[in-house]
Structures are given as structure tokens and as C-alpha cells.
């Protein structure tokens, strides 16, 4: 396995959608908006690991109102959007650096792999478009937002 840390910012949502050029290309109701970034050194094993972890995170309310259910338990969907800016390094100066992000071809391949890994777990998936100028709208439920790395 590589030395990277595949990153995701996940938000529990009641609705989410992504648009490109004014057209909705992905939309979900209850589930997770997953913003994902491949880092240098990431590989397909990291993608599979990240999908398994996110699908099993117990962040949905059970009948008692406690965060005790996973995306797999609830049958919720995932809207998966590539976001290389999650690689942003803000430790120096005022302009983030993105040199730790995977090169575009590798990032695109790992993004596609992550989508396939989530779908293979039985999670209904919708997606953004890698490299596109996207507009993302969501209703964060809770709010619940988590940073996940593997």
C-alpha cells in the first residue's frame, strides 16, 4: 500500500445535489454527502478501506435518537464528489498548497474506484464530475460533519 491518506469529509444530509453547467447530475435524499480527495501514494486498497469505514460509521439516529446506525443500516444513499482542495496545506502563508494531492489521472482513477467500492457495498450512489466546476447544495442533518482518513 502507498503512504498516502485517502481523505473524505462526510456530511449527514437530508438532501444533497450537485450541478454542472446548471444541470443536476447527482441528487440524493437521506444519506451522506462524501467529499473525497486522493493523496499522493494512495492506492485501490485505501479506497476499499475508506468505503468500508464510511459505510459502517454509526452516525445516524436509532429509535431512541442516539447515533447508533450506519449508512448500511439505514439504507441511505451517498453523493460522492471529488474535491482536491481537501489536500490543501495552510501551514505557510495565505495561499493553500496542493502538492500533496494525487496527480489528476491517479486522482480520477481512485475517485472512480471509491465510487465502485461504495456501490459494491450495496450503497445507492450518485456522483459529481471529476475536475468539473460543480455547485453542491445540501441540507446538513444535525449538523453532522466528520473528517475521515485511512
d(CA 34, CA 55): 11
- 82 part of a folded domain: yes
Where in the sequence numbering do the catalytic residues fall? Answer: 83-85
- 148 part of a folded domain: no
Q: How many domains, in total, are found in the chain?
A: 1
pLDDT tens by residue, 30-86: 999 999 999 999 999 999 999 999 999 999 999 999 999 999 999 999 999 999 999
Domain hosting 109: range is 7-142
CB neighbours of 65 closer than 8 A, spacing ≥ 6? none
- 60 part of a folded domain: yes
- 150 part of a folded domain: no
pLDDT-based confidence at residue 3 (cuts at 50, 70, 90) = low
Residue 140 CB-half CA count within 13 A: 10
What CATH number is associated with residue 57? 3.50.80.10
The reported pTM is 0.95
Residue 13 CB-half CA count within 13 A: 22
- 147 part of a folded domain: no
pLDDT-based confidence at residue 1 (cuts at 50, 70, 90) = very low
Amino acid at each position: 500500500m502507498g503512504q498516502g491518506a485517502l481523505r473524505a469529509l462526510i456530511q449527514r444530509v437530508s438532501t444533497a445535489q450537485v450541478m454542472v453547467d446548471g444541470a443536476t447530475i447527482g441528487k440524493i435524499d437521506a444519506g451522506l454527502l462524501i467529499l473525497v480527495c486522493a493523496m499522493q501514494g494512495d492506492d485501490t486498497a485505501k479506497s476499499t478501506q475508506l468505503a468500508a469505514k464510511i459505510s459502517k460509521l454509526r452516525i445516524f439516529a436509532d429509535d431512541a435518537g442516539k447515533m447508533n446506525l450506519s449508512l448500511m443500516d439505514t439504507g441511505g444513499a451517498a453523493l460522492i464528489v471529488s474535491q482536491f482542495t481537501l489536500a490543501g496545506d495552510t501551514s505557510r502563508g495565505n495561499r493553500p498548497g496542493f502538492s500533496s494531492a494525487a496527480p489528476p489521472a491517479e486522482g480520477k482513477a481512485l475517485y472512480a474506484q471509491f465510487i465502485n467500492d461504495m456501490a459494491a457495498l450495496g450503497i445507492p450512489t450518485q456522483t459529481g464530475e471529476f475536475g468539473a466546476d460543480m455547485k453542491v447544495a445540501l441540507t446538513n442533518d444535525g449538523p453532522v460533519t466528520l473528517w475521515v482518513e485511512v
